[in-house]
């Protein structure tokens, strides 16, 4: 039996050429996703979440390069031949995007959209693919599947179209799903419906999920473990319940404090300043300029991830300030 996790990323870095300069976008990320496990990747805009996912599918833009180890079931994704890569993308992994309308052709029917991938990869015949698509639609609560096949994307609401993306993703029976902000474009009620569908499918099919979001509360609701990214590096990583209830990195605490709560009436505290990209970071902690706890060493030495209370945290001052952070979030 293969006991390797589905996805194992070790020391993954991503650089991109920009007008002759080599820019670091992601640095030293370690991440694993096992079958049946949901892992969240959380951080503000530009922190490198999408780049990391694209590297795991070998879908980086031409001028960008990934280094380090990216293994799928123990095989090196970066070492895949063209043929292995095509098979990997067609049946092992699937990607669900933030904006379904941007990833459908307005002139083609939902039926064509759903079946083209699996038919082109010769996984199913057109007839089998349509039958399977209808069954999958029914299994996630989409009514009148036969009729849906004949409709065009503009005839579907955003929530329904995103559910069709999930159907398309599930059709080849992949082992691992990448969901890059799958509900950001949806309103809150539809968002929770889509998340419930994803969770149910993970359970029923024993899928791995890498769920990307800028919303820590949302990610916490659906994942087993979390990696919080800032400026291209992971700053805190561990079991979701721990990280969410007792953040140890000031950035994680900041993400929790700046989000509206449905149950408590508290004042929102935005994180001051703007997020930076990995290539803008000097020798110190990337978050130091925005951190109210930053001390001298934070501005000069980059903190490495280290084990603190059964998780990984990259903060020099965690022993002094960690215990105070949950209170900071609530006050
Ligand atoms: N095609 C590209 N070429 C070069 N650099 C890029 C490209 N796309 C994004 N970047 C840069 O890579 C870094 C990481 O971007 P990425 O899109 O992965 O962030 P993200 O965390 O997904 O943000 P968002 O929440 O906005 O989707 C940023 O500095 C961004 O400017
Ligand atoms: Mg992104």
- Nearest atom in ligand 1 to the alpha carbon of residue 48 is 18
Task: Determine the pLDDT at residue 264.
Answer: 55
Task: Determine the pLDDT at residue 4.
Answer: 79
The residue whose C-alpha atom lies closest to atom 26 belonging to ligand 1 is: 45
66: β partners: 14
Best mutation site among 24, 40, 47, 276 for ligand 1, i.e. most ligand atoms within 8 A of its Cβ?
Answer: 47
Ligand 2: distance of its center to the CA of 97 in Å? 9
Q: Is the pLDDT of residue 138 over 70?
A: yes
φ, ψ at 172 (rounded to 5°):
-80, 10
Encode pLDDT of 231-285 as tens digits: 999 999 999 999 999 999 999 999 988 766 555 555 567 788 888 888 888 899 9
Do the strands 176-180 and 93-96 form a parallel or antiparallel pair, or are they unpaired?
parallel
Ligand 2: distance of its center to the CA of 327 in Å? 30
Task: Determine the pLDDT at residue 263.
Answer: 56
Encode pLDDT of 88-102 as tens digits: 999 999 999 888 888
**Average of per-residue pLDDT across 281-310:** 93
Query: Given pLDDT bands bounded at 50, 70 and 90, which one contains residue 73?
Result: very high
Residues 6 or more apart from 218 whose CB is under 8 A from it? 183, 191, 195
Best mutation site among 50, 183, 213 for ligand 1, i.e. most ligand atoms within 8 A of its Cβ?
Answer: 50
Single pTM value for the model: 0.93
Give the chain's mean pLDDT.
91
Ligand 1: distance of its center to the CA of 216 in Å? 19
**Average of per-residue pLDDT across 174-190:** 90
Task: Determine the pLDDT at residue 331.
Answer: 64
The C-alpha angle 50, 114, 85, rounded to 5 degrees, equals: 50
3-state secondary structure of 199: helix
Query: Given pLDDT bands bounded at 50, 70 and 90, which one contains residue 75?
Result: very high
Helix ranges (DSSP H) in 10-123: 49-56, 82-87, 110-120
Do the strands 93-96 and 311-313 form a parallel or antiparallel pair, or are they unpaired?
unpaired
Best mutation site among 17, 46, 180, 234 for ligand 1, i.e. most ligand atoms within 8 A of its Cβ?
Answer: 46
The residue whose C-alpha atom lies closest to atom 31 belonging to ligand 1 is: 46
Q: Which residues surround ligand 2, an ion (CB under 5 A)?
A: 50
**Average of per-residue pLDDT across 161-166:** 93
What are the domain boundaries of the chain? 248-331
- Cβ-in-10-Å burial (0-12, 13-18, 19+) of 203 comes to exposed
Query: Given pLDDT bands bounded at 50, 70 and 90, which one contains residue 2?
Result: low
Task: Determine the pLDDT at residue 325.
Answer: 82
Instruction: Specify whether the CB–CB gap between 215 and 30 falls below 8 A.
Output: no
Ligand 2: distance of its center to the CA of 228 in Å? 14
Ligand 1: distance of its center to the CA of 41 in Å? 14
Instruction: Specify whether the CB–CB gap between 10 and 68 falls below 8 A.
Output: yes
Percent of the chain with pLDDT over 70: 95
Query: Given pLDDT bands bounded at 50, 70 and 90, which one contains residue 323?
Result: confident
Query: Given pLDDT bands bounded at 50, 70 and 90, which one contains residue 213?
Result: very high
Q: Which protein residues touch ligand 1 with a CB less than 6 Å away?
A: 16, 25, 43, 45-51, 61, 64, 214, 277
């Amino acid at each position: 039996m293969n006991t390797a996790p589905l996805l194992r990323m070790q020391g993954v870095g991503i650089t991109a050429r920009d007008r002759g300069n080599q820019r670091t976008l992601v640095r030293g990320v370690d991440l694993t996703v096992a079958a049946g496990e949901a892992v969240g990747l959380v951080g503000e805009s530009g922190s490198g979440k999408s780049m990391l996912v694209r590297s795991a599918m070998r879908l980086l833009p031409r001028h960008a390069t990934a280094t380090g180890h990216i293994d799928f079931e123990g095989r090196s994704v970066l070492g895949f031949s063209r043929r292995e890569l095509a098979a990997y993308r067609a049946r092992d992994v699937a990607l669900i995007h933030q904006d379904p309308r941007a990833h459908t052709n307005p002139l083609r029917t939902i039926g064509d959209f759903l079946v083209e991938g699996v038919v082109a990869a010769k996984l199913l015949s057109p007839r089998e693919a349509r039958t399977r698509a209808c069954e999958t639609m029914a299994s996630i609560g989409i009514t009148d599947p036969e009729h849906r096949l004949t409709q065009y994307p503009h005839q579907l609401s955003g929530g329904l179209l995103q559910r069709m993306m999930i159907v398309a993703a599930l059709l080849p029976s992949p082992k691992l799903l990448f969901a890059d902000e799958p509900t950001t474009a949806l309103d809150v009620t539809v968002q929770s419906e889509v998340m419930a569908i994803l969770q149910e499918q993970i359970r029923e099919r024993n899928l791995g999920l890498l769920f990307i979001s800028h919303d820590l509360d949302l990610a916490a609701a659906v994942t087993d473990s979390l990696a919080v990214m800032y400026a291209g590096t992971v700053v805190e990583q561990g079991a979701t319940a721990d990280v969410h209830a007792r953040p140890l990195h000031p950035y994680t605490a900041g993400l929790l404090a700046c989000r509206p709560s449905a149950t408590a009436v508290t004042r929102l505290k935005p994180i001051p300043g703007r997020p930076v990209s990995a290539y803008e970071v000097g020798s110190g902690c990337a978050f130091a300029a925005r951190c109210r706890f930053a001390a001298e060493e934070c501005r000069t030495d980059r903190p490495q991830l280290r084990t603190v209370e059964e998780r990984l945290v990259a903060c020099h001052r965690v022993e002094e300030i960690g215990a105070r952070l949950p209170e900071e979030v609530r006050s």
